[in-house]
Amino acid sequence: MDKFKQFGSEYSKLMKQAEPFLGDHPDEFEYYVEKVLLRIWAGNARYSENYAKAIEAISGKRRSGEEVLKAMISGAGEITGPGVPGFFGKMVDDDFKSGSDNTREFIDGLKSLLVGGAYINGDFTVEESAAVSDEIKRLMTYAIGKGVKIDYATGRIREKTTPLNEESYAREESVEMDNAKFFEALTEGFLRPAQLKKDELTGRLEGNAPDGNPSAGLDPFSAGTDAAGASADQDSKAQDAQKADAPAATTDERTMEELMAELDGLVGLESIKKDIHSLMNFIEITKLREERGLNVPTISYHLVFTGNPGTGKTTVARLVAGLYRRIGILPKGQLVEVDRGQLVAGYTGQTAIKTMNAIKQALGGVLFIDEAYALVNDDQDSFGKEAVETILKAMEDHRDELVVIVAGYTELMHKFIESNPGFKSRFSKFFEFPDYTGEELMEIFSRFCESNGYHMTEEAGEYLKVELQKMYESRSRHFGNGRTVRNIFEKAIHTQADRLTKCDEKVSDDQLQELTADDVRDAVETERNKFQEIE
């Protein structure tokens, strides 16, 4: 007997144990096993056509590799919601009342079946074994909580051979993803985390078995659901878990005129303002040509922002996202800001997951990648390359609903764009953000004071003006521009607070708003010392 027939035979034996408890839902057991298998297989970075054959062995239904991949990646294998499958809850209740041993026998058979299912493609990763153990522990914990006696130690599967697995289930290494179809599916936007964290899973063990047709009884391959087998409430919980690690998205709801007014009101950046105005004018005329049936040039809306830190790149990116929305380029116009840490994971296969998570957050708006050059540190950085390839594919697949803006130091960003032909063809517009002059830095500080209800004494103003000019003239690549000014302002108001709390007399309103030369001097020296340590 080949392994698929043997797998189907083991499934049939287990099915007979569950049949008396299926009631009006005969498909419940089949769908439950399929869901758990999909979840287990998602822990293997190597996709196998044997997965589809295994599904056919238990259901008699032929599934294409694409169908299985989509079901795995879209979250069909997630175990969500309280309680356990309805048939298992009934089995536990029956054992408690009659003293029978069905629950223990079922768990033993399920353990063997799931290990065999995980091993169906010839390997068994640590992630897969953890998923098997989690499900067995989930059922055992529920049964014990209901008063059924089971030999329960750690909840982990013992290292032993099974009829379907001639080797120990334990493996110390994970297989690298080498199947092109799996990678393509990851980057198609089907992705959701398929393996729950252990603490999240444990938190869902409380509660009774679901009444009626339980979530576990829904076909994980059925269309029309975001995560097959999950109710709307359960799906929301799963999405909340996913979003916990996702980058935040901000959307600017202002009108085109209001956005342009803020752009024009920014300190300095005259060349940037001019270029943004020119870009918006070009887009507007291009759309007008399109409406008139005239030839329209191919436009890339992806941008490269180069310059030192603190020169307003993030602020302008947020405004561009809003402007793109108002002019009709993007449907939502939110800005999702990320860096290497939010795109790259620690092992192969997971970077695509992490990067797609950020991309999905940005669909309809702008993905803003700060210090983007960090994605290609060197030729040996396979994780960074994985993120880059995922981004490039998303830019192509979602060209009408995703704009990418990359930012960083000028020289490093030019090397970054040159490092990949895909970037060279998609990023043709460079915006160079100049350092703020001493006078512009002073204007930024004055705006901080005004917006927060402070003012400087004349002596403080004269001192700061001279010091900011010195900082500008002696600046290095580590100079923070606007960030440096913000740091000085925040330190100055803290120094003022320390000073005023030592006053013996009642503090006046004017004193509460006034920054003295000593307040500012202390802040400047603190910031200067910080940069000297960096140098």
Same domain, 411 and 456: no
Last residue of a domain, one of 410, 433, 456: 433
Q: Which of 79, 43, 117, 39 is nearest to 349 (CA)?
A: 43
Same domain, 262 and 391: yes
Same domain, 429 and 454: no
CA–CA gap between residue 242 and residue 221 (Å, rounded): 21
pLDDT of residue 223: 45
Same domain, 457 and 409: no
* Strand (E) or helix (H) holding 367: strand 365-370
Locate 214 and state its tokens: 């339980």
Record the pTM.
0.56
Please answer whether residues 194 and 78 qualify as being in contact, where contact means their C-beta atoms are separated by less than 8 angstroms. Answer: yes
Q: Which of 84, 119, 66, 88 is nearest to 18 (CA)?
A: 88
Last residue of a domain, one of 209, 240, 271: 240
Locate 364 and state its tokens: 């309809």
Last residue of a domain, one of 433, 452, 469: 433
Locate 342 and state its tokens: 């939010």
CATH code of residue 298: 3.40.50.300
Same domain, 358 and 372: yes
Same domain, 330 and 257: yes
pLDDT of residue 312: 94
Please answer whether residues 64 and 49 qualify as being in contact, where contact means their C-beta atoms are separated by less than 8 angstroms. Answer: no
Locate 322 and state its tokens: 């809003």
Q: Mind listing the pLDDT tens digit of every residue in the chain (535 residues)?
A: 578 888 888 899 999 999 999 887 788 899 889 888 988 887 765 667 888 899 998 888 888 877 887 777 665 444 444 458 889 989 988 888 888 888 988 988 898 888 888 888 877 777 777 788 888 888 888 888 788 876 543 333 333 333 333 333 333 333 333 334 333 433 333 222 233 233 332 333 333 344 433 444 567 776 443 333 333 333 333 344 344 445 667 777 789 999 999 999 999 999 999 999 999 999 999 999 989 999 888 888 999 999 999 999 999 999 999 999 999 999 999 999 999 988 987 666 678 888 888 999 999 999 999 999 999 877 677 788 888 999 999 998 898 899 999 999 999 999 999 888 888 889 989 999 999 999 999 999 999 999 999 999 999 999 999 999 999 998 887 788 999 999 999 999 999 999 998 887 888 999 999 999 999 999 999 888 876 655 5
Same domain, 361 and 446: no
**Which residues, including other chains, have CB under 8 Å from residue 370's CB and lie 6 or more apart?**
313, 314, 337, 338, 339, 407, 408
Degrees (nearest 5) of the Cα angle 339, 341, 342?
Answer: 70
**Count of CB atoms within 10 A of residue 151's CB?**
8
User: How many domains, in total, are found in the chain?
Assistant: 3
Same domain, 211 and 273: no
pLDDT of residue 172: 33
- The DSSP 8-state label assigned to residue 368 in this structure reads E
Same domain, 292 and 350: yes
Same domain, 228 and 266: no
Locate 479 and state its tokens: 């100079």
Same domain, 45 and 132: yes
What is the span of the domain harbouring residue 317? 249-433
In degrees and rounded to multiples of 5, residue 337 shows phi and psi of -100, 125
CATH code of residue 493: 1.10.8.60
CA–CA gap between residue 405 and residue 355 (Å, rounded): 15
Same domain, 167 and 138: yes
